[in-house]
């Protein structure tokens, strides 16, 4: 009876360890970085209402209205703005609110791609196109701010994800060691009980 109770206690302990491991593995704790990330998200939002190029704002580029078409906004600018909205604002906010590692990882990947798209967007406003066609306007404040904010987001999400991964691996190793120790104790108790039974029967 005692052996069965010990086995049930160990199963319950192991189950609790697994739940704790899954919970820790899926969560992040950005700490003070949360303020920096939140500020960067606000800057991305601000950049959408500022001129992206000429008099065209980021929202105009996002919707690709007649003003954006008149300024010959390239596909790289449109991709850059969409990445800022989806990952710089959307997934970054989602990761901050839910504290889920999965969303932070998606935000990191999207913001990293957004940094490259922002650089290409900047380049497209300063480089002649086919047949030496010059863009009507150069780089605006909105494009610069949005691109810099995406760089900041990429850096801080990378730090958060990297630290979480290191802590996660360390904790998983510790939990495995604790589980192995508890299992060894349970096996030892079972052996003691098995040795006592023949003596009691005799």
The residue assigned the tokens 């987001």 is 153
Does this model's pTM top 0.85? My answer is: no
Q: Is the pLDDT of residue 34 over 70?
A: yes
The residue assigned the tokens 């703005």 is 81
Cβ-contact 101, 26 below 8 angstroms: yes
CA dihedral for 46, 39, 96, 170, sign (positive or negative):
positive
- For 51, the 3-state DSSP assignment is strand
Q: Which residue has the higher pLDDT, 200 or 120?
A: 120
Query: Rounded to whole angstroms, how far apart are CA atoms 72 and 91?
Result: 29
Percent of the chain with pLDDT over 90: 39
pLDDT tens-digit map of 151-199: 999 999 998 888 765 555 665 666 666 666 777 777 777 777 666 665 5
How many CA atoms lie within 13 Å of 65's alpha carbon, on the beta-carbon side?
A: 8
Q: Which of 43-52, 62-71, 142-151 has the lowest mean pLDDT?
A: 62-71
The residue assigned the tokens 């030496």 is 132
Cβ-contact 145, 43 below 8 angstroms: yes
Structure tokens at 110: 């999207």
Nearest to 107 by CA among 154, 149, 147: 154
Query: Rounded to whole angstroms, how far apart are CA atoms 22 and 40?
Result: 30
Q: Which residue has the higher pLDDT, 137 or 35?
A: 35
């Amino acid at each position: 009876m005692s052996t069965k109770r010990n086995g049930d206690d160990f199963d319950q302990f192991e189950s609790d360890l697994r739940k704790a491991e899954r919970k820790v593995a899926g969560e992040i704790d950005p700490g003070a970085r949360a303020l920096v990330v939140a500020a960067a998200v606000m800057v991305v939002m601000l950049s959408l209402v500022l001129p992206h190029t000429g008099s065209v704002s980021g929202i105009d580029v996002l919707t690709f209205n007649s003003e954006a078409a008149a300024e010959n906004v390239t596909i790289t600018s449109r991709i850059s703005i969409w990445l800022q909205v989806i990952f710089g604002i959307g997934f970054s906010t989602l990761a901050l609110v839910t504290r889920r590692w999965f969303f932070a990882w998606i935000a990191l990947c999207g913001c990293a791609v957004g940094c490259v798209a922002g650089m290409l967007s900047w380049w497209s406003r300063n480089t002649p196109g086919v047949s030496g066609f010059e863009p009507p306007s150069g780089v605006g404040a909105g494009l610069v701010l949005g691109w810099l904010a995406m760089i900041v987001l990429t850096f801080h999400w990378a730090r958060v994800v990297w630290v979480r991964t290191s802590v996660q691996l360390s904790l998983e190793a510790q939990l495995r060691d604790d589980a192995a120790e508890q299992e060894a104790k349970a096996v030892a108790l079972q052996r003691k009980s098995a040795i006592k039974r023949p003596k009691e029967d005799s």
